[in-house]
Structure formats: structure tokens, C-alpha cells
Amino acid sequence: MGINLDERFVVQFAPEKRGGIRVELLDTSRPAFDACVADAEFAESLIRAAAEGHDVFQIARASKYEWEHTDMG
């Protein structure tokens, strides 16, 4: 599942085989993304934050989860 936050930013969610939810933060202005595996509760909180118009990227990056950066360029 993906949510377009605005013209440039997207957050995507996908179930992980070993449990948890893979969360990906994409900035479409460049070929790169940040990702982590989180629990369902955190993923749901990001969905609620997006619906309420909060800065999902800021909330996600301030979380306890370790984010991997992937540069595809």
C-alpha cells in the first residue's frame, strides 16, 4: 500500500515474510529511498499522521527504528 503525501513524497507499506511491516519513504525527485521494518502499530500511526496532514517523513525518521538508505542512481 502506498500513500502520496504530496507531489514529491510517498510512503509505502508492505508485509514482511518474517513478520513486521516494511516502511519505505520515497522522495521522487531523486532515485533513492529509506526503509525499515517496523511493527504494525507504528505503520498504522504513520497512516493516521498522513491522514491528519502531519509530516510523515519527520515522524518516521524520529522513530526508534533503524533506517537503511538505498541510492538507486
Confidence at residue 30, expressed as pLDDT on a 0 to 100 scale: 85
pLDDT score of 3: 83
H/E stretch holding 64 reads: none
pLDDT of 5 reads 86
- Structural domain including 46 reads 2-71
Cell, residue 9: 513524497
pLDDT of 39 reads 95
Domain count for the chain, please give it.
Answer: 1
Contact 27, 72 (CB under 8 A): no
In this predicted model, what pLDDT tens digit does every residue of 34-44 receive, in sequence order? 999 999 999 99
Low-confidence ranges of the chain (pLDDT < 70): none
Task: Give the angle subtended at the CA of 26 by the CAs of 44 and 35, to the nearest 5°.
Answer: 65
pLDDT of residue 28: 85
Cα distance between the two ends of the chain: 24
H-state helical runs in 1-73? 40-51, 56-61
What pLDDT, on a 0 to 100 scale, did the predictor assign at position 48? 94
